[in-house]
Every structure is written in structure tokens, then in C-alpha cells.
Amino acid sequence: MKYDPIDPRLFTENRARLAARLKPDAFAVFHSADIPWLCADGYLRLFQNSDLFYLTGVDQEETMLILNPGAADPAEREILFVRKTSEEIAIWEGHKLTLEEAAAVSGIATVRWNDAFEPAIRRLAPKARRVYLNYNEHARSISTAVTPDDRFRRRFQELYPGVRCERLAPLMHELRMVKSEPEIALIRRACGITRDGFLRTLGMIRPGVMEYEVEAELMHEFCRQGSRGFAYEPIVASGANSCVLHYLSNDRPCADGDLLLMDVAAEYGNYKSDLTRTVPVNGRFTPRQRAVYDAVHRVFRACVDDLIRPGVKIREEYQKTVAQLVEQELVGLGLLEAEAVREERKDEEKKEEKRLYRKWFMHGVSHSLGIDVHDVAPPGAEFVENMVVTVEPGVYLRDEGFGVRLENDIVVRASGNIDLMEDIPIAAEEIEALMTHAARASCP
């Protein structure tokens, strides 16, 4: 692994919090992710199941976890199963965790090879009244992939129809939404790597540079610092491409007078960061670009400084308040008429996604962040203490050929939110000054 070892107390405490929420006479089962296959015999590196990593810290395929907090024998309350290695596996794939190494990583005393997993299930199931099984219940998931958790859940329900099945997802969403200090430290590390990547790019952005060259510069810095790379597919979008919310081609030249929107960030230790900056390709904003940029920046500051507080409902309160701020800025930019906004707001039944401002600002403002970029949270969630969220307002002028989005990562605190990216320049004058300095430094 590229990242430094993580203190296993993080995973021990995570398991303890989950165990305390399980009903009596029940056990819970988690599986690692499959290795993603491409075609023929090609495959990608493992992207670990987030719940399994959260509970064990194990970053290896064919790993299973059984939590059985009611077991009479303390050694049976947590059992980790890992892939049994061999000389042939070591030759072709490299080192795999030994039982002792898996115990050290996870903090779990009882570790067995994974061929002992099925016998353990056959021993536990007849005695249990309930089993907690895992399933991806993220509200925005449209995945059709069948995971090891899915395969096990279906098989278990067929073999043991008398055991009541409970959902793990609501418990995991509640737990993972609130970040511990070690988790915040890992996200902060990812943010620091992202900062260095962003600052590195400012020295090479100029008219004629290809979007993919900027992407490569970022990847260079991220990998150099022990990140496995991008936390998500990078968006490096110049000119009109900056109005495509999930632009991924990154194959166009950056032209003089364009804005370059970079929605790119690093991961570290499986924890993600999420950054967006919009910069002028030639180092100077036009008056119109600057007006839009400053409008977005004002909304950003209001979110960080005033609107995000524990207890505020994210969708029902926060998102609507931000929408009203965006409407005011759009009026100031000459894109909306104040009277039209006032009349529309009288119609309380009109769906938010149908309102006038959505032509220029069509996405959400904040999402939970952690092991997943769009991390899990309960339906209808409100901000809570030590939740980590993004703040990412934007305005997209497709008719004018440019968009502006700004994004930082925030720890929610009643005493005042912590901006994990406060050391990454964001004000327009900072961006211009840095780009001017970088351009001068690069001149022979």
C-alpha cells in the first residue's frame, strides 16, 4: 500500500460502535469488493468495499468479516477471514496479508483463512434469530453490479429462511456520516496533496496547453505524495466544456480568454478529498468572468461561514436558502429579473428543479465526504457535528461559453466550521496573482 499504516484503533472503535447497535442474538456479515474485470483476462486494481474498510482497514480482495457481539466466547465476537496465500500467488500477484499482519492492521484478534468462512456461517446461522446483511442503499446509486455481499445475501436467504434478515445500510450510514478525528486527519492529508497538485498546475496553465496535460500534472503530484491518484474521475474543462457538469474527455486545448474549471482531488488511505477551482487560462479574468466568479465566491462564503450548522436540514432548509442566494446573484448578473423571482416564490408547490434559477445552477451544493466521494448519509439528513461535507456552488452560462464552480471540504462544527482547504487559494485576486507569479517564474 502507498499510504502510511493507519492506527488500528480507528477500526476497533468503528466496530464497537456498530456492535452496540446490533439487536440481541444477531450477527453481521461483510465482504470485500470484487476485483473489477475489463475484458478477456484484463482487470483493474481492487477498489475496496467502503464498509469493510471502515470496519477493518483491510485493503485486500476475498476478505470477510463476521461480527457476533453476543457470542459467549470473546474470541468469536469478531472474526476476520483473509485470502490464503501461496508461493504461486506471491510470484504472480505479490505479497498478501498473513494472519498476523491482518490482525495488526485491523485490531481483530481472531483471524482465519477464508476457507473457514462457510463453516463458521453453518455453525452460527442455526443459533441466530437475526443476521445483518449488507447492501448498497446509497440514494443515488444506479449500479447493476452484483457484489460479493449481494451473492452472499441471496444464498443465505435461501439456505436459512428462518433467520430474520436485517439491513446494515441504515446503521452504517448513520455511523459513517460522523467522522472521528483519525478520519478527519486522513481527509486533511488528501486535501494537502490536492493543494500541492493544484498549485503545481498554476505554473503550466497557459493558452495552448491541453486539458490532458493539466490532468497529467495533477496525477504526477498526487502519486508522488503516496496517493493512489484521483479520488474520482478528473474533470479538466476549458471554455464551453466548463458548463458540462461531468465532463470527462479532457482532450481540448485551453484557449486564450477561456476559463479552465478543474474538479480534481486526491485520495489518501482510501479517504477522499473533493476540490473545484476555476482559473483564467491567460492569468486574467475578463470583467464578465470576474463578475460571475465573485458571485459564486460570495455564495460559497455564505455557505461556509453562516449556513452550514449542526441541526440544519440539508435539503429542506440549506439547499433552499442557497437557492435564494443564487437567485439574488443571478439578478445582479442580469440573468434573472427580480420581479420574476418574487412571483415564482409565491408558488410554494413548484418543484425546486423547475424553478428559473436552475437554468444556471442545476446541481446540489453539498454532499457528505469520506471513504466515498459522495459518502453515505441517512435519507433526509441534517448537518451534524463532525460531518465532513463539500461546498460547491456554481453558475454556468452556456450561452456565453463558460461556467464557474468553486468547492472546498468542510468539517461541520457548532463552534465554527473547519475548512480543510482554507490554504488553497480561492479568491479571484489570489488566483490572478499566483498565475502572474508562476508565468514570470517560468520565463527564461
* Cα 198 off chain centre by: 18
User: Residue 27: enclosing H or E segment and its boundaries?
Assistant: strand 26-31
Q: What is the DSSP string of 90-131?
A: HHHH-----HHHHHHHH--SEEEEGGGHHHHHHHHGGG-SEE
Q: CA nearest 121: which of 64, 48, 52, 60? A: 64
Yes or no: domain 9-174 corresponds to CATH 3.40.350.10? yes
- Cell digits of residue 3: 499510504
Query: In this predicted structure, what is the pLDDT of residue 353?
Result: 87
Work out whether strand 26-31 and strand 130-133 pair parallel, antiparallel, or are unpaired.
parallel
Helix axes 9-19, 181-202, angle to 10 degrees: 130
List average pLDDT for each run of 10 residues in the chain, which is 444 residues long.
92 98 96 94 94 98 98 96 96 96 98 98 95 93 92 96 96 98 98 98 96 98 96 98 97 98 98 98 98 98 98 95 97 97 90 94 97 95 97 98 98 98 98 86 60
- Cell digits of residue 219: 496525477
**Domain 181-442 class, CATH top level:** alpha beta
Query: In this predicted structure, what is the pLDDT of residue 440?
Result: 66
Sequence ranges of the chain with CATH classification 3.90.230.10: 181-442
Sequence ranges of the chain with CATH classification 3.40.350.10: 9-174
Query: In this predicted structure, what is the pLDDT of residue 437?
Result: 81
Query: In this predicted structure, what is the pLDDT of residue 81?
Result: 98
Q: How far apart are CA 423 and CA 282, in angstroms?
A: 23
- Cell digits of residue 325: 442566494
Q: How far apart are CA 110 and CA 104, in angstroms?
A: 11
What's the Cα-to-Cα distance from 415 to each of 93, 385, 408, 411, rounded to whole Å? 49, 10, 19, 11
Give yes or no for a contact between 272 and 369, defined as CB atoms under 8 angstroms apart: yes
Q: How far apart are CA 321 and CA 316, in angstroms?
A: 9
